Chains A and B, each alone.
Chain A
Amino acid sequence: MRRFFISTLLLAVVLAGCAPSASGPGALPTATAEHPTLVLMTHDSFNISDSLIKQFEQETGATFKVLRAGDAGAALNQAILSKDNPLADVFFGVDNTFFGRAIQADIFESYDSPKLAEIPDELDLDSQHRLLPVDFGYVCLNYDKAYFAEKGLDVPQRLEDLTRPEYKGLLVVENPATSSPGLAFLITTVAYFGEDGYLNFWQKLRENDVYVTDGWEDAYYGQFSGGSGKGTRPLVVSYATSPAAEVYFSEGKLKEAPTGNILPEGGSFRQIEFVGILKGAKHPDLARKWVDFMLSRPFQEYIPLQMFVYPANETAALPEVFQKFAQVPSAPAKITPEEIDAGRERWIDAWTKVVLH
Chain B
Amino acid sequence: MIDIKELTWQGLWKNNPALVQLLGLCPLLAVTSTAINGLGLGLATLFVLMGSNITVSAVRHYVPNEIRIPIFVMVIAAFVTIIQLLMQAFTFELYLALGIFIPLIVTNCAIIGRAEAFAAKNDLLPSAYDGFIMGAGFALVLVVLGGVRELLGSGTLFSGAELLLGAWAVDLKITFFVPDNPFLLAILPPGAFIGMGLLIALKNILDPRLEAKFAPKPEKIVERARVTAES
> Do A and B form a real pair?
no
